[in-house]
Homo-oligomer: A and B are copies of this chain.
Amino acid sequence: MLRSIATVSVSGTLVEKLAAIRAAGFDGVEIFENDLLYFDGSPADIRKRCADLGLQIMLFQPFRDFEGVSKERLAQNLNRAQRKFELMHELGTDLVLVCSNVNANAIADDALIVDQLGQLALLAEREGVRVGFEALAWGKHVNSYRHAWRLVDAVDHPSLGVILDSFHTLSVGDPIDPIADIPGDRIAFVQIADAPLQKMDVLEWSRHYRCFPGQGDFDVAGFADRVLATGYRGPFSLEIFNDGFRAAPTAATAADGYRSLLYLEEQAARRRVAPAAQQPLFTPPAPPSHSGFQFIEFAVDSTSAPRLAQRFAEAGFHAAGRHRSKDVTLYQQGDASIVLNAETDSFASGFFHTHGLSLCASAFQVDDAARVFERATSFGYAPFSGRVGPNERVVPSVRAPDGSLHYFVDARPDEPTLYEADFVLNPPAPDATHSKAEQGRLERIDHVCLNLPADALDTWVLYFKAVFGFEAEPAWLLPDPYGLVRSRAVRSADGSVRIVLNASQDAHTSVAESLNTYRGSGLSHVAFVTDDIFAAVEQLRARDVRLLKIPPNYYDDLEARYDFPDGMVTKMRDAHVLYDRDAQGGEFFHVYTEQMDGRFFLEVVQRTGGYDGYGAVNAPVRLAAQAQRKNGSTT
């Protein structure tokens, strides 16, 4: 199907916008009037530029406050429309968006409005253009698509259709099923936007917080499905007012927008209960099913390699093997695998190496690695091919939004494992026959937490939803002593892979500082699961691992808030273990190591009773403790 975007959705001058929109793959654009007004050339120049790029101008917008007006005003408005229709000829588009009147003195008289829209339709017919009428959610009288459609239906003129907009429909909880009552050929155009749920004035929400489908909380796929069921054959067109997008790099935003439409088409196609869509939709290979992290890989140099190896050894990891052809070492504990990559000619060294310790790659266990790779590249994410030695396994991989690598590894029952294929494995560690208590207490990776630049959150959420088929949880706003951090978790349906994304709103939070200090992927920490947090702490301490000291007042407050068995709070205080409890009584115990290089750290977590979060309520005390640790002890 045709894919379009309104020029207001991306940053830059109109020239920059059009180039980026075309490069992203869009078939067409809506020209937002302000972009035309600010352009230092004629409408014909814009027409030519779009034609040269191969972009169709699908719509000109907006034309405001036309209907429900006095006779005198109507004459003025028709005159104004006449001028804009002439402009549309120059621009080379035949469709204009007329949005419902928001003036306080708009007349609430449907018969009058039908008459006036009818006059507009006749004028449009004479000028050889078409008018699409859209209900704004904050329209004075007309503020629902059902009302707009009743008016358009009453006018019953081929030059007048209705325009649907997912934001105006879903933001106010307008039911989507009645969309099916509209004949597809009477829908002039369809605008698409998602948004995070917010308790705020709908106009402000619309103007500042819209986002691409998949990045917000609306059922945009359900909306799209109902539209497709009508037989509508026009484009889906993104119309996004977003303060962050206005400031973000033009090309990257446009690329995300295009991907979000592909994702929407896939989601809508899955929803399908009505007859098959009359439009061909994007159908990528199915998303993977997950069974956990395969490994995470750090780029190291001669300084950081031994330090990091020692830290993981202290945390109970053993050196499990060396890569057959590369300067790469494998550390393991339970099902958790860590790879240290000291290659000097590799991607890692070129990209991350000179910047100290960095996460350069993550590998994920999936049902079919080749299929995920196909899926990722079908969404336009960049494939990666590395050097592969003889008999080593070719591991499909793509670049994540920050340039780091994501590998996909599938189980192959009849073949050697990835580690057997690529590594010279050490004999089992001497303690492998010992009891569990003597081995490491860490069982597997629970989650990985990444520090992202401000405004990168939406890009990553879309990436993980589109490529990995992840779900995204609602965002948290976490206070750091020096500003706010926005945090959002994504996870596989089964919870075997969980990634927490942190983006700093401000320049001096620890999240921002970690990105200022180091380039490359912003790894905050890796969390490992244990089934006995206190035994794990004891073991870490026996190996001289320094734990992040949690202020004692935190525990006094815990004691005031919850009932605990006798001695439990003392035990937590002594072990620097933080605590959370969900509404169902599920519990979360977690403990942090001190930071390496003022940045990277480890977390150990224990989940009971189905607790499914990340202890976000404790993030502020952790951030404050880390800040106090950096500033020196204060008492």
Q: How many copies of this chain does one complex carry?
A: 2
With A246-B483, A247-B506 as known contacts, state yes or no: A625 contacts B38, CB within 8 Å.
Answer: yes
| B483 A635 Cβ-Cβ under 8 A | no
- Closest residue on chain B to residue A504 by CB atoms: B247
| B620 A553 Cβ-Cβ under 8 A | no
A597 to B404, alpha carbons, bound, how many Å? Answer: 39
Partner of A39, one of B34, B482, B551: B551
Contacts of A43 in B (CB 8 A): 553
The reply to whether the CB of A80 lies closer than 8 angstroms to some CB of chain B is yes
**Which one of A113-121, A226-234, A434-442, A626-634 is at the interface?**
A626-634
A324 to B12, alpha carbons, bound, how many Å? Answer: 49
A 70-83 to B, binary, CB cutoff 8 A, 1 in contact else 0? 00000000011001
| A635 B45 Cβ-Cβ under 8 A | yes
Q: How far apart are A629's CB and chain B's nearest CB, in angstroms? A: 8
With A246-B479, A506-B247 as known contacts, state yes or no: A635 contacts B40, CB within 8 Å.
Answer: yes
Partner of A38, one of B42, B556, B624: B624
The reply to whether the CB of A587 lies closer than 8 angstroms to some CB of chain B is no
| B557 A483 Cβ-Cβ under 8 A | no
Contacts of A42 in B (CB 8 A): 552-553, 635
A560 to B84, alpha carbons, bound, how many Å? Answer: 8
| B634 A83 Cβ-Cβ under 8 A | no
The reply to whether the CB of A204 lies closer than 8 angstroms to some CB of chain B is yes
A45 to B80, alpha carbons, bound, how many Å? Answer: 71
A56 to B84, alpha carbons, bound, how many Å? Answer: 67
Contacts of A627 in B (CB 8 A): 13
Q: How far apart are A356's CB and chain B's nearest CB, in angstroms? A: 25
Contacts of A412 in B (CB 8 A): none
A633 to B87, alpha carbons, bound, how many Å? Answer: 22
**Which one of A195-203, A293-301, A385-393, A456-464 is at the interface?**
A195-203
| A482 B247 Cβ-Cβ under 8 A | yes
A37 to B204, alpha carbons, bound, how many Å? Answer: 36
A380 to B508, alpha carbons, bound, how many Å? Answer: 27
- Closest residue on chain B to residue A79 by CB atoms: B560
Contacts of A634 in B (CB 8 A): 13-15, 39-41
Contacts of A24 in B (CB 8 A): none
- Closest residue on chain B to residue A41 by CB atoms: B635
| B34 A505 Cβ-Cβ under 8 A | no
Sort chain A's interface into a size bin. 35 or more
| B620 A34 Cβ-Cβ under 8 A | yes
The reply to whether the CB of A559 lies closer than 8 angstroms to some CB of chain B is yes
Contacts of A625 in B (CB 8 A): 38, 40
| B484 A246 Cβ-Cβ under 8 A | yes
Partner of A620, one of B38, B39, B628: B38
- Closest residue on chain B to residue A43 by CB atoms: B553
A174 to B203, alpha carbons, bound, how many Å? Answer: 25
Contacts of A628 in B (CB 8 A): 13, 15, 38-40
Contacts of A323 in B (CB 8 A): none
| B635 A553 Cβ-Cβ under 8 A | no
Contacts of A126 in B (CB 8 A): none
Partner of A11, one of B482, B556, B633: B482
Which of A83, A203, A509, A560 has its CB near the most chain B CB atoms (within 10 A)? A560
Contacts of A556 in B (CB 8 A): 83, 87
| B247 A551 Cβ-Cβ under 8 A | no
A82 to B107, alpha carbons, bound, how many Å? Answer: 61
With A11-B483, A200-B204, A481-B13 as known contacts, state yes or no: A553 contacts B36, CB within 8 Å.
Answer: yes
- Closest residue on chain B to residue A76 by CB atoms: B563
With A200-B201, A556-B87, A621-B38 as known contacts, state yes or no: A507 contacts B635, CB within 8 Å.
Answer: no
Partner of A13, one of B39, B200, B631: B631
Q: How far apart are A70's CB and chain B's nearest CB, in angstroms? A: 16
Contacts of A79 in B (CB 8 A): 560
With A80-B561, A84-B560 as known contacts, state yes or no: A37 contacts B247, CB within 8 Å.
Answer: no
The reply to whether the CB of A243 lies closer than 8 angstroms to some CB of chain B is yes
The reply to whether the CB of A554 lies closer than 8 angstroms to some CB of chain B is yes
List which A6-28 residues lie within 8 A (CB) of chain B: 11-16
A564 to B104, alpha carbons, bound, how many Å? Answer: 25
A420 to B628, alpha carbons, bound, how many Å? Answer: 58
**Which A residues are within 8 Å of any B CB, using their own CB?**
11-16, 33-34, 36-43, 45, 79-80, 83-84, 87, 198-201, 203-204, 243, 246-247, 479, 481-484, 505-509, 549, 551-554, 556-557, 559-561, 620-621, 624-625, 627-628, 631, 633-635
Q: A38-B621, A247-B484, A247-B506 are in contact. List 8 more A-B contacts (CB 8 A).
A: A11-B482, A13-B627, A14-B634, A37-B621, A38-B554, A40-B551, A42-B553, A247-B508
Residue contacts A-B, CB under 8 angstroms, 25 given: A11-B482, A12-B482, A13-B627, A14-B634, A15-B628, A15-B631, A15-B634, A16-B631, A38-B553, A38-B554, A39-B551, A39-B634, A40-B551, A40-B625, A41-B551, A43-B553, A45-B635, A80-B561, A83-B559, A84-B560, A199-B204, A200-B201, A243-B505, A246-B483, A247-B483
7 A-B pairs closest in CB distance = A247-B506, A247-B483, A38-B624, A41-B635, A199-B201, A200-B200, A83-B560
